[in-house]
Amino acid sequence: MSPRTPGSNRSGADASTPHFVRGGRPASDQLPDHPDFLWRNPEPKKSYDVVIIGGGGHGLATAHYLAKNHGITNVAVLEKGWLAGGNMARNTTIIRSNYLWDESSAIYEHSLKLWEGLEEDLGYPILFSQRGVLNLAHSLQDVRDSVRRVEANKLNGVDAEWVDADEVRKICPIVNTSADIRYPVLGATYQPRAGIAKHDYVAWGFARRASEAGIDLIQGCEVTGFTTDGDRVSGVQTALGDIAAGQVLLCASGHTSVLTDMLGIRVPIQSHPLQALVSELLEPVHPTIVMSNAVHVYVSQAHKGELVMGAGVDSYNGFGQRGAFHIIERQMAAAVELFPVFARAHLLRSWGGIVDTTPDASPIVGRTPYENLFLNCGWGTGGFKSTPGIGWCLADTIAHGEPHPYVAPFALDRFVTGALVDEHGAAAVAH
């Protein structure tokens, strides 16, 4: 059954009652039933135990695990636009856990394990495909860093191996592994359990489960202010009226600082445009995911057949959900350098999201100066892969009023203590 039309039953349709009549308007009794809605669209109540600001992947996943793991269902997810219409709809869907540092690999590996059971958990197809990721090395320094990361991954129970250029060619025959290119492929790290998923279905699956559990998902509900009472946030002011809150979680990604500015909290994030693009639909040519930091691009092929590519952020701060075309040009040049066969593909469309980058390329999660306000931001260019993992940990954090051990290292105060989790470059992070 197609997840796009959950209520329809295409395969079981009776051929004698066509849904559409060629050359004319179908009679109303010949129209298919409207598919079932995946979630309710309730009016907001006056008060909730938990208010989550931001109806993207992280907010929806947190809502799901609050209900599933902790039985907390008097919860609202407030979304200023429509559900999962920000970065959740704009990312390149790469899921992996081969980060260098213990703190990072713990949360991302937790997330990857949840991805492996997510389709059953949500009862919804998410097209999770563990096709592996190659992170290419193009210089001796790349090789040394990559081998070090593989060893660190193994010690942390993350599947990882170092493969040489010949093995790269066996895993992904279309990569140009010849020695005479400007940045020859010297080898790669390989994580076979890495993969991709259909981002929209992931969001819809979480939203459906949360809504079924009684959680209110409220769209078109921008937060315009907060009411505070001493060191507590007592409620939020929204486009749809004031809502009292027992606990509040900020899950607003690039717009987090717009919210924290209202509360006088400074957060060291800088919002940048990050662009991605897809080609026209092609026959299957690309069996895995390839990332390269030196020749900066990352590419996979979606189930439908588009080549999905991304690269680095636009240099300046930006909230416009678009970027400059020379960034796209550079990323296409990198893609064609690595995959000569792509030279014949046509660009279908490109788009931009707003990513919240941090000084150490690691997220900021946990406590704030307000005792019942929790923060989740700074995932930068890599938040999609963490969706189930961070949702799980944030739900636990809210239920216990105490940061989950996996998110504790990512506290805001690390910028004062100096205990940074510096994943710049170290984690095969393509920034």
Partner 1 sequence: MQLIACPFCGPREEVEFTYGGQAGVAYPEDPAALSDDQWAHYVFFRDNTKGRFAERWNHSHGCRRWFNAVRDTVTYCFEKPAGTTGTAS
Q: Quick one: tokens of 17?
A: 């009652």
Site string for partner 1, 402-421 (x = CB under 8 A): -------------xxxx---
116 in Cβ contact with 167 (< 8 Å)? no
- The nearest distance, CB 420 to partner 1, in angstroms, is 9
DSSP single-letter state for residue 413: T
C-alpha 103 chain-centroid distance: 19
The angle that helices 199-212 and 57-70 make with each other, rounded to 10 degrees, is 40
Binding of residue 269 to partner 1 (CB under 8 A): yes
Binding of residue 267 to partner 1 (CB under 8 A): yes
Write out the H or E segment, with its range, that includes residue 45. none
- The nearest distance, CB 266 to partner 1, in angstroms, is 5
- Collapsing DSSP states into helix, strand and coil, what is residue 310? strand
CB nearer to partner 1: pick between 153 and 368? 368
Q: How many CB atoms lie within 10 A of CB 358?
A: 23
CB nearer to partner 1: pick between 37 and 316? 316
Ramachandran angles phi, psi of 284, nearest 5°: -60, 120
Applying CB under 8 A, the span of 18-26, 77-85, 241-249, 313-321 interacting with partner 1 comes to 313-321
The correct pick among 359, 408, 422, 425 for binding partner 1 (CB under 8 A) is 359
CA 420-421-426 angle, 5° bins: 130
Q: Which of residues 317-346 bind partner 1 (CB under 8 A)?
A: 317-320, 324-326
- The nearest distance, CB 223 to partner 1, in angstroms, is 14
Applying CB under 8 A, the span of 15-23, 27-35, 103-111, 309-317 interacting with partner 1 comes to 309-317
CB nearer to partner 1: pick between 71 and 418? 418
Applying CB under 8 A, the span of 39-47, 116-124, 200-208, 263-271 interacting with partner 1 comes to 263-271
Applying CB under 8 A, the span of 131-139, 160-168, 281-289, 311-319 interacting with partner 1 comes to 311-319
CB nearer to partner 1: pick between 184 and 359? 359
Binding of residue 270 to partner 1 (CB under 8 A): yes
**Helix-then-strand count for the chain, H and E:** 9, 18
The tally of CA atoms less than 13 A away on the side-chain side of residue 39 is 28
- The nearest distance, CB 274 to partner 1, in angstroms, is 14
Strands, DSSP E only, in 157-239?
161-164, 187-191, 195-196, 216-218, 223-229, 232-238
CB nearer to partner 1: pick between 93 and 257? 257
CB nearer to partner 1: pick between 37 and 319? 319
Say how many residues touch partner 1, by CB under 8 A.
23
- The nearest distance, CB 423 to partner 1, in angstroms, is 15
Applying CB under 8 A, the span of 29-37, 144-152, 187-195, 314-322 interacting with partner 1 comes to 314-322
CB nearer to partner 1: pick between 266 and 400? 266
The correct pick among 258, 347, 348, 419 for binding partner 1 (CB under 8 A) is 258
Cα diameter, the chain: 72
Q: Quick one: tokens of 185?
A: 């492929």
Q: Quick one: tokens of 111?
A: 């997330």
CB nearer to partner 1: pick between 20 and 325? 325
Distance of alpha carbon 240 from alpha carbon 190, whole angstroms: 48
The correct pick among 64, 193, 208, 255 for binding partner 1 (CB under 8 A) is 255
Alpha helices, DSSP H only, in 348-411?
387-400
Tokens 């678009």 sit at which residue?
A: 322
Residue type, 203: A
Binding of residue 266 to partner 1 (CB under 8 A): yes
- Single out the residue of 228, 223, 229, 206 nearest to residue 394, CA to CA: 206
9 in Cβ contact with 36 (< 8 Å)? no
- Collapsing DSSP states into helix, strand and coil, what is residue 12? helix
Query: Would you tell me which residues interact with partner 1 (CB under 8 A)?
Result: 255, 257-258, 266-271, 315-320, 324-326, 359, 415-418
